[in-house]
A and B are shown apart, each in its own frame.
Chain A
Amino acid sequence: MSIAASARSTLARASRAASIRSLGSVAAVRTKYTLPDLSYDYGALEPHISGQIMEVHYTKHHQTYVNGINDAQEKFDAASSPAEKVALTSLIKFHGGGHVNHTLFWENLSPVNKDGGAPPTGALSKTIDDTWGSLDSFKAKMNAALAGIQGSGWGWLVKDNTTGKLSIITQPNQDPVDTSKFTPLIGIDAWEHAYYLQYQNVKADYFKAIWNVINWKAAEKRFS
């Protein structure tokens, strides 16, 4: 950049900042949401989830939710009437939910050689046993709930914020877990894009396989 161009751009920034200040304190500049870092390689969950699925899921689907929530927020901020704002809430819920859900999902997965699939310990393990009898019977219940989703959605192991009890819930589409009631511990994406390239219509095999790469350490942190 030439010195003149650099000066122009500095001026433009200063003038933008001034005009934002002049709107008063409510006109805070919204920070854009961004795709979170994946802490493992696309191929690191193989053979349970293919590298191709991980790459498309993270770089395309999750990115689209991030773009969607930023776009919807921008329109929301620019909307002048309550009616226009209300009309945008469905998009905010869908794309915002997609961003929240996928961010939790990447964190609750881990390669087999980095704790993936290693069973929970301590208080979480005990509560699962108390609730379902054993880890295996919990997995069977969760897989049945996932298989019963009629359309796109997610299955979650959640902790009730009031009672501390564990339960399995499913949510349609990208509806996020209601965190005023529950703390999500483990989420499993049951959208077809999460498994179709590898498992096609045999989604039961995907639900069985994913337990090999579930990061129970992350779940324990959320639990406590």
Chain B
Amino acid sequence: MGGTYTLPPLPYAYDALEPYISAQIMELHHSKHHATYVANLNKAISSPNAVNTQSLIHFNGGGHINHSIFWKNLAPASSPDVDKSAAPTLMSAINSQFGSFGDFRSRFNAILLGIQGSGWGWLILKDDGNLDIIATRDQDTVPYGTAIFGVDMWEHAYYLQYMNGKAAYTENIWNIINWKYAEARFSGAGENDFTELKAML
């Protein structure tokens, strides 16, 4: 089987996001869920004439792209990268557009908790230069603009630790957002990732 796409290594240990995301969740999420999207994406690409190839590429390719961004936009709570001061220009844009970081965070969490089924919440930079908070369903990727960071709202992202208490997961995740990486994506670093794969979705 052609291994066109590969599982990216996690930039920290499985237990590095504790106590906010358990090591068990991280290990399954990365080594099983993300690995399955990669394997099924490669399988779909190598059988281009199957009836549902396009849907399988869309779903599994999206899963690969979304998770690849997600791992990098998280960081251990002990890292300096989770300090909001690591994102000076992004913070200033958030404050001017949403009023305050608290208001931004409340709006983001309301979007996350409003997702009906599996999906993701994203902060995006639109082509007109404004920020927006959007939800995408299942493994759809951000449909326009550039993803600054995303939060996985599939149940597998939190269930072993939080079960039905997803509101607590959406509160805790703010302790481990990698603002340094978000700042880099806000400054253009996210524009060209997965260009080739996105064109296939």
Partners in one complex: yes
B-binding residues in A (CB < 8 A) = 56, 60-61, 64, 90, 94, 148, 150-153, 172-174, 191-193, 196-197, 200-201
Contact of A151 among B33, B36, B52, B118 (CB under 8 A): B118
Q: How far is the CA of A196 from the CA of B164 in the complex (A)?
A: 12
Total contacts A-B at CB 8 Å: 56
Chain B: interface residue total (CB-CB under 8 A)? 21
Residues B119 and A151 in contact, CB atoms below 8 Å apart = yes
Residues B116 and A90 in contact, CB atoms below 8 Å apart = yes
Closest CB in chain B relative to A126 CB, distance in Å: 30
Residues A196 and B160 in contact, CB atoms below 8 Å apart = yes
Residues A153 and B163 in contact, CB atoms below 8 Å apart = no
A-binding residues in B (CB < 8 A) = 28, 32-33, 36, 52, 55, 59, 116-119, 137-139, 154-156, 159-160, 163-164
Residues A200 and B28 in contact, CB atoms below 8 Å apart = yes
- Write the chain A residue with the least CB distance to B29: A201
Q: How far is the CA of A61 from the CA of B159 in the complex (A)?
A: 12
Give the residue among B28, B55, B159 with the most A Cβ atoms within 10 A: B159
Closest CB in chain A relative to B71 CB, distance in Å: 17
Q: How far is the CA of A43 from the CA of B17 in the complex (A)?
A: 33
Q: With A151-B117, A153-B117, A174-B117 known to touch, is A56 a contact of B32 (CB < 8 Å)?
A: no
Chain A residues near B32: list those with CB within 8 A.
Answer: 200-201
Closest CB in chain B relative to A36 CB, distance in Å: 18
Chain A residues near B118: list those with CB within 8 A.
Answer: 151-152, 192
Residues B155 and A191 in contact, CB atoms below 8 Å apart = yes
Chain A residues near B154: list those with CB within 8 A.
Answer: 151, 192
Q: Mind listing 10 A-B residue pairs with CB under 8 Å?
A: A56-B164, A61-B164, A64-B164, A151-B138, A153-B117, A192-B155, A196-B156, A200-B28, A200-B32, A200-B160
Residues B33 and A173 in contact, CB atoms below 8 Å apart = no
Residues B116 and A151 in contact, CB atoms below 8 Å apart = no
In the complex, besides A197-B163, A201-B36, 19 extra interface pairs with C-beta distance below 8 angstroms are: A56-B164, A60-B164, A61-B164, A64-B164, A90-B116, A150-B139, A151-B117, A151-B138, A152-B117, A173-B117, A191-B155, A193-B155, A193-B159, A196-B155, A200-B28, A200-B156, A200-B160, A201-B28, A201-B156
Q: How far is the CA of A98 from the CA of B32 in the complex (A)?
A: 28
Chain A residues near B155: list those with CB within 8 A.
Answer: 152, 191-193, 196
Residues A60 and B163 in contact, CB atoms below 8 Å apart = yes
- Write the chain A residue with the least CB distance to B157: A192
Question: Nearest 3 CB-CB pairs, A to B?
Answer: A151-B138, A173-B117, A192-B155
Q: How far is the CA of A153 from the CA of B154 in the complex (A)?
A: 12
Chain A residues near B55: list those with CB within 8 A.
Answer: 150
Closest CB in chain A relative to B33 CB, distance in Å: 6
Chain A residues near B59: list those with CB within 8 A.
Answer: 150
Residues B139 and A56 in contact, CB atoms below 8 Å apart = no
Q: How far is the CA of A193 from the CA of B155 in the complex (A)?
A: 7
Contact of A197 among B52, B137, B160 (CB under 8 A): B160
Q: How far is the CA of A196 from the CA of B157 in the complex (A)?
A: 11
Contact of A172 among B117, B160, B164 (CB under 8 A): B117
Chain B residues near A192: list those with CB within 8 A.
Answer: 118, 154-156, 159
Chain B residues near A56: list those with CB within 8 A.
Answer: 163-164
Chain A residues near B164: list those with CB within 8 A.
Answer: 56, 60-61, 64, 193
Chain B residues near A60: list those with CB within 8 A.
Answer: 163-164
